[in-house]
Amino acid sequence: MAGSVAVVTDSTAYLPAPMAAELGVTVVPLQVVVGGVSRPEDIGSDTEITFGADEVVAALRANRPVTTSRPSPQVFVDTYRRLQARGHTAVVSVHLSGDISGTVAAARLAASEVAAGGLKVDVIDSRSLGMGLGFGVQAAAEAAAGGADGPDVARIAARRSLNSSIYIYLDTLEFLRRGGRIGAAKAWLGSALTIKPVLALADGRLEPLERVRTTQRALTRLLELAVSEVDGVDPSKFEDDGGVRIAVHHLSAPERATELAERLREHLPSLAEVPVVEVGPVIGAHVGPGAVGVVVARGLDS
């Protein structure tokens, strides 16, 4: 066993399955309901029937109802107890923003239940999602593998996640509206169809940032926002294990995402890589097809 501290996250971290396995991270899937059928979000498991991004994109485009739900507290209880049975003495459980999902609340209920059995579980509200959460989970898992104790792993997970910024371009606000996550962007619903919304994740909530007139301008704006986040950062900080990391997300928009990643590498040549990761059904159901986002993790010492 790599260490006594186990790291748990949920499927909205969108860690590729091989990476999660290599890091030793346990991933708990959220649930997706399409046309009344409920299945877990796909996490690369061969043992469950799941919903993947393609199925949800097809349902959204066909105007079929798509909803999402948190894992039950019992799923977390079972997960934590399995890890305890494997010899782990502590768990750090890191999840998407509590203002977006009840996943953190379910994990906290489970943590209180397993505490009676001697297992200490630290539940971290990342205030983030996607690779903003994923980079925090990665840092936590690496710290745990290096022998850090539970409180240190929890601090690293929280610091890495809270030092992340996310900017998202949407083709339409309609899917946020359907999912009830529209928030302050509701004021934009009556805008002309030619206006393209750019949102930011602010303190765990998606908030409207600005509107632009074309998709190309929106991609340029995402580039500008990401570059401004790391403006003036010592280039060596891009190479540190806990240094600057940037990822690009999308839903059914690989060309847009790849273009943005390439432009980011041109503007920030010190970046080792800019992974392009398609979001899964849970986040995809709310942002809709065509969405592109950029995640900037500024580093553990920022």
Q: Residue 290 is which amino acid?
A: G
Predicted confidence (pLDDT) per residue in 83-106, tens digit: 999 999 999 999 999 999 999 999
Instruction: Give the bridge partners for 203, in sequence order.
Output: none
**Confidence class for position 1, pLDDT limits 50, 70, 90:** very low
Say what the pTM is. Answer: 0.91
Predicted confidence (pLDDT) per residue in 264-294, tens digit: 999 999 888 999 999 999 999 989 999 999 9
Supply the pLDDT for residue 156. Answer: 96
Closest to 131 measured CA to CA, from 288, 20, 33, 264: 20
Predicted confidence (pLDDT) per residue in 155-182, tens digit: 999 999 999 999 999 988 777 776 555 4
The percent of residues in the chain predicted with pLDDT above 70, rounded, is 88
Q: Is pLDDT of 192 > 50? A: no
Distance of CA 302 to the CA centre of its chain: 20
Q: Per the structure block, which two tokens stand in for 272?
A: 């080792």
Q: Is pLDDT of 227 > 70? A: yes
Q: Is pLDDT of 193 > 70? A: no
